[in-house]
């Protein structure tokens, strides 16, 4: 089952500001009268960063099957064995660490001994309901 990532107002606002900033720098870089190598390099870097941001924005999702939870956020991806997940914290935001997410108040998934990942499926409850079908021993904590 595939779960798309939820996008909240904070993430949308940050994305809009960053995209507008990159586009304005790109605009001034392209239409500057003096064309130097630095301007061209700056324009190429801005386009690449803009593409990366849009890829993360539109390409964040989670796939759950009987044995693994797979996450994808732009070029960043990974797999977690469901049998290794021992705890899920619901409704809390992880500010440091691995965050293939586009919203706050998602799920912190703790697996192995010290590993954790933060995700933000469209609905936390449906994701938890589905993952508990595959591993009913996962401890759910409400934040």
Render pLDDT for 82-106 as a digit per residue (tens, 0 to 9).
999 999 999 988 888 888 999 989 9
2.30.29, 2.60.40, 1.20.1050, 3.60.21: CATH of 1-143: 2.30.29
Integer Cα distance of 36 and 32 in angstroms: 9
Two structure tokens written together for 102: 């586009």
| Residues facing residue 107 across a β-bridge | 90, 119
What's the pLDDT tens digit per position in 41-61?
777 888 898 899 889 989 999
Per-residue confidence (pLDDT) for residue 95, from 0 to 100: 80
Tell me which of 35 and 74 has the higher pLDDT: 74
CA distances for 14 relative to 18, 54, 55, 102, 134, angstroms: 6, 12, 15, 11, 36
Integer Cα distance of 16 and 55 in angstroms: 14
Sign of CA dihedral 59, 62, 66, 68: positive
Domain ranges, ordered by start, for the chain: 1-143
Per-residue confidence (pLDDT) for residue 71, from 0 to 100: 96
Q: What is the band of 35 on the pLDDT scale with cuts at 50, 70, 90?
A: low
């Amino acid at each position: 089952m595939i779960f798309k990532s939820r996008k909240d107002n904070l993430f949308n606002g940050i994305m809009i500001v960053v995209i507008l900033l990159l586009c304005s720098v790109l605009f001034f870089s392209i239409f500057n009268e003096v064309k130097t190598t630095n301007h061209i390099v700056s324009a190429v870097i801005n386009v690449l960063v803009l593409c990366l941001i849009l890829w993360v924005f539109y390409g964040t999702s989670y796939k759950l099957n009987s044995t693994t939870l797979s996450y994808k956020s732009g070029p960043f991806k990974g797999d977690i064995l469901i049998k290794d997940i021992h705890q899920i914290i619901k409704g809390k935001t992880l500010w440091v660490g691995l965050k293939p997410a586009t919203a706050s108040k998602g799920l912190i998934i703790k697996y192995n001994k010290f590993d954790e990942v933060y995700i933000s499926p469209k609905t936390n409850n449906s994701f938890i309901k589905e993952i508990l079908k595959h591993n009913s021993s996962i401890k759910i904590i409400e934040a």
